[in-house]
Structure 1
Amino acid sequence: MTSVPEASHGPGAEPPRRGSGLLELTNRHQLLSDALLVAFLGMVLTAPLHWLFRQHPHLLFFQGALLVPLVLRRRAPYVVFGVIAAVAFLQWLFGGMIVTGDIALLVALYTVAVHCSRRRTWTAAAVLGLGNLLAVTRWADPARGWKGFIALCAMSVAAAMIGVNVHGRRDYLAALEDRAARLERERDQRAQLAVAGERARIAREMHDIVTHSLSVMVALADGAAFAVPRAPQKATAAMEQVSGTGRQALTDMRRFLGVLRADEPDALRHPQPGIAQLDGLATQVRAVGLPVRLRVEGDLAAVPAAAQLTVYRLVQEALTNTLKHAAAGAQATVRVSCHSDRVAVEIRDDGRPVEPSGEPGHGIDGMRDRVAAYGGVIEAGPLPGGGWRVATCLKLGEAADAGAGAPEAAEHGGSEGEL
């Protein structure tokens, strides 16, 4: 069977066309085109021998009986060949001589080779070979009969081989069309998966930015409202921090969304936060009233920017959850240990949890998605003596295989593709 070359078509290639012009017209109107073929053969093969058919009218009957079935040759090729072969046998029995309409046997054999299986093709060829032998034994000169037999067999083999070649070519084109269609479907599926992944990434980023900022702003606003009667200056400072946090959140969202817009190249120059920015995050959380102890060990330069962004978002989400769920007086501890092949992160708080709000959150799911890109697993749960613990270990060697993105991508907002 003809093999399909892998390099013939890329994902964006168009399917090959089976034919054009006259060939497409004949394929759409098979009955009409085959009827015209029969009429043409009838005129070409009958007119030069009109004197013979006037002398032997029964030969004209065989001439028509051999040619007319070709009208249905593409509708029922094997049946048409059998009918023409039967007429040829009757001609051999009662006709008395060969007529030019016997060429219909070659046309029928060719059609079988084009439209039917190899088995049927060689069966039809064998039947025609037997007919050639019968014709030679009856009508050929005994001294030269073997030459006529070879000539008839050569024409039969040629008709069959041409048909087999056309059949193979049709199968080849059909395979190319199928492969091109399959590649196009796969390309569309990959594009849909990429869009879904990008949407999930954007949702995680927006969740981290908005949730943390709003939690800080709510805590500051509550504190300011409580302090207004007793300490107006502290209330004013708290409201200024609310304003600053809101502005920073808007800046972060504009920067993040600007990366997704082609008409804002300046957004690409602003790097996303990393481990070095954890100190500022801790300071922001301390201003709300949650004491945070931060400890960072190891060489930050050994950690790719994409992994640093994951660590920052993980710590941000954990501290935000502590602000929302831990009771007053809670303290948090953040430990980040950087190594050449991994980054260990642990966030603990010692506060007793307040009553749950009943609203499901997506923070843990977002954390799981982030660390899974680095072969990590989130460990989140209550501590035996009270409090909550979140820990994970990012395997830096698996980031490329998991598709976490190159460091350059993270420095420019972590964008992995266009929407």
Structure 2
Amino acid sequence: MAASMWEWLRRRKLLVDAFFAAPILLLSVPSMLGETYGLGARLYALLTVLLVGPLVLRRTFPRTVFAVVALVSFVQCLAGAEPVQANVAVLIGLYTVTAGCSFRWGLAAAFVAEIGAGTATLRYPTGTDDRKYMFLMLTVLVGGVYVLGLHMRTRRAYLRSLEERAERLERERDNEVKVAMAAERARIARELHDVVAHNVSVIVVQADGASYAIDTDVGRARQALDTISSTGRLALAEMRRLLGVLREDDDAGAFAPQPGVAEIDDLVEQVRASGLAVTCEVAGTPAAMSEGRQLTVFRIVQEALTNTLKHGGPRVRVSVRLRYADDALEILVEDDGRGAAAFDDGRGHGLAGMRERVAVYGGDVRAAPRPGGGFEVVARIPVREEVAA
């Protein structure tokens, strides 16, 4: 409520400035009626209006208002008219210029006000000591108002810098959230590519086998159809899990278990059931690895086997070797298929995805045709963060 009221007042400068100028006008009414200063009521009222009236626009046109009230006061002084209560408008104008304009304009306004103090001291007849006291008092008033204006100007600049910094931090936070969301979507895209490419490759191979065996070996064709069914269900389940991460009102998918090194045996059995001759060997003592590293290992093996299914050709054999060293896990997947002679449409992103995954953990990967025929994927993944560093 208070914040909304403050914003309402900030948008109505004329109303607020008129409200603060009204007390000066009210205090001048008794003097105008009683002619306390020896001035005629009309002259006193005229001076009061000329000095107080411009204050309504003091924040809208600060320099113009100060120039008007300073000029009126200077003419008043030259004409010998006695000072009136509304002459305080000069100090109000000085404060407004100092607080709302640049440092140079504030200094210039203070200089003009100080000239006015000196002129008033010389113009109005008093004793020598009284003149010194009067000049000192007016100088202190001008200096105090000038310092107060500088303080408010500095404070407003500080508050503006805080508001700008808060807005900048909010924009940076929103940008970081967007970057994180984009990175998460890219990760999900890679996951979807691995899941869909692998399972669709298995389904295609099984469907081809079933079409060849349906007339000669009904049992083998039925087995291929069962494999197609189970593989399709598995692909749908994984796709639902990954796409569930994108749901704004359901974060359960983010906590679903990810495949790791232990699931490589199931992956090999699945590929082997599709008719591909696969052997898997593990050397060394398995090291404890984070879930992210295990997922990377699984996806590399999965992508390598998928590439063999797609490009290896008939009666291809593939071997998967995992070798645990003290500081890293080495992965070797090689086949005796077409190798460099395999057709590549240039639309695959599996090899690029493997490199990105391995680079996250400071490892390296190489995928290329073998000199003697076939294709190989060689990857090395550090098992600990300090090794990658």
TM-score scaled to structure 2, two decimals? 0.86
Query: Partners in 2 of 1:350 and 1:267 — Cα distance?
Result: 39
The residue identity in structure 2 corresponding to 1:91 is Q
Residues 55 and 369 of structure 1, relative CA distance in 2, 3 Å threshold: same
Residues 312 and 166 of structure 1, relative CA distance in 2, 3 Å threshold: same
Residues 59 and 48 of structure 1, relative CA distance in 2, 3 Å threshold: closer
CA contact (8 A) 2:287 2:383 kept: no
Alignment of 1:92-241 (within 5 A): 92-139=77-124, 140-241=126-227
What's the % identity of the aligned pairs? 42
Deviations 1:251-310 (A, max 9, x none): 444555567778796995x64222232222222222222222322233323322210111
Query: Partners in 1 of 2:111 and 2:72 — Cα distance?
Result: 17
| Alignment partner, residue 66 of structure 1 | 51
| Alignment partner, residue 366 of structure 2 | 379
Alignment of 1:13-412 (within 5 A): 21=5, 24-50=7-33, 51=35, 52=37, 55=40, 58-139=43-124, 140-254=126-240, 268=255, 271-353=257-339, 356=343, 358=345, 360-398=347-385
Residues 143 and 54 of structure 1, relative CA distance in 2, 3 Å threshold: closer
Specify the SS of the correspondent of 2:337. coil
Deviations 1:310-329 (A, max 9, x none): 11111101111110111213
Query: Partners in 2 of 1:348 and 1:19 — Cα distance?
Result: 69
Deviations 1:106-129 (A, max 9, x none): 110111122012232233223212
Query: Partners in 2 of 1:91 and 1:332 — Cα distance?
Result: 105
Q: CA deviation at 1:103?
A: 0.6
Structure 2 residue runs without a partner (length 5+): none
Farther off after superposition, 389-398 or 200-209: 389-398
CA contact (8 A) 1:303 1:340 kept: no
Farther off after superposition, 166-175 or 312-321: 166-175
Q: CA deviation at 1:397?
A: 4.1
Specify the SS of the correspondent of 1:302. coil
Query: Partners in 2 of 1:65 and 1:129 — Cα distance?
Result: 21
Where relative contact order (Cα < 8 A, 6+ residues apart) is larger, the structure is 1
CA contact (8 A) 1:273 1:312 kept: yes
Deviations 1:3-54 (A, max 9, x none): xxxxxxxxxxxxxx99653x54443222344345445423322432431465
Query: Partners in 1 of 2:67 and 2:314 — Cα distance?
Result: 96
Query: Partners in 2 of 1:89 and 1:263 — Cα distance?
Result: 74
Specify the SS of the correspondent of 1:143. helix
Query: Partners in 2 of 1:20 and 1:401 — Cα distance?
Result: 55
Residues 393 and 327 of structure 1, relative CA distance in 2, 3 Å threshold: same
Q: CA deviation at 1:163?
A: 2.3
CA contact (8 A) 2:279 2:318 kept: yes
Q: CA deviation at 1:376?
A: 3.0
CA contact (8 A) 2:80 2:123 kept: no
TM-score scaled to structure 1, two decimals? 0.81
Measured on the aligned residues, the alpha-carbon RMSD in Å equals: 3.1
Residues 256 and 64 of structure 1, relative CA distance in 2, 3 Å threshold: closer
Query: Partners in 2 of 1:19 and 1:149 — Cα distance?
Result: 43
**Length, aligned pairs only:** 384
The residue identity in structure 2 corresponding to 1:389 is E
